[in-house]
Amino acid sequence: MFKILSYPIKDGDPTWPGNPTCSLEPHTSIAKGDTANTATIHLFNHYGTHLDGPMHFNPNGISLDKVPVERFFYQKPLVIDVPKKAGEKILIEDLMPYKDQIAQADFLFLRTGFWKKRKSDPSVYENNGPAVGSAAATYLRENFPNLKAIGLDFVSLASYSDGKDGDLAHQIMLGMYQPGYICIVEDINMEELPEGFLKQAAAVPLIIVGIDSCPVTMWAEF
């Protein structure tokens, strides 16, 4: 079974507080006498389900168009449930019970259950989501060399309620302090995913030269 995990992009969805969203500007219209319908898309590059590349928080990181294409395709994706409430962090002790499975994985879905707030309480989803703590980010970087990326069912690796630690966690994951990096896919719809290993997954961005991050079309097979 294949499942699209990216949220459909539309104006008004939750995002990091203060960030732009999305709008469509009609360019030509059949209804107005043109031969085709076209539009300009105004889209912030960290809106909706999107992938953070190394350049996002690392001044020496490569831009997304230079990330090897195999970083967007996963043959051993793993879903683990780590329930978290508003403002709570994913900690090392949340990950350690799964360390043997994570060691085999090339993509790690961290499902907190917070995706439910995206519709029921979008203000909390934006302003006080869970986060991956900087200590947990260090644990992932130092112990799991097979990981190409991690995925989150909340708006950002950081929580708006603790931006300082969130900045540090991003820097650690994206290679600011040691060689290598783990990409970050944020705001994923994990509602129907089974726990455990999936057959395969992918998170494919628009390849725009010089950009740090971009929305992705993400899917999984299970």
Strands 213-221 and 50-52: antiparallel
For residue 99, give the CATH number of its domain: 3.50.30.50
Q: Domain containing 101: what range?
A: 2-221
Angle, vertex CA 89, rays to CA 87 and CA 92, nearest 5: 170
pLDDT in tens, 21-68: 999 999 999 999 999 999 999 999 999 999 999 999 999 999 999 999
pLDDT in tens, 91-143: 999 999 999 999 999 999 999 999 999 999 999 999 999 999 999 999 999 99
pTM recorded for the entire structure:
0.96
Q: How many folded domains does the chain comprise?
A: 1
Neighbours of 58 (CB within 10 A): 19
pLDDT in tens, 153-181: 999 999 988 989 999 999 999 999 999 99
> Which residue is it, tokens 């992705």?
216
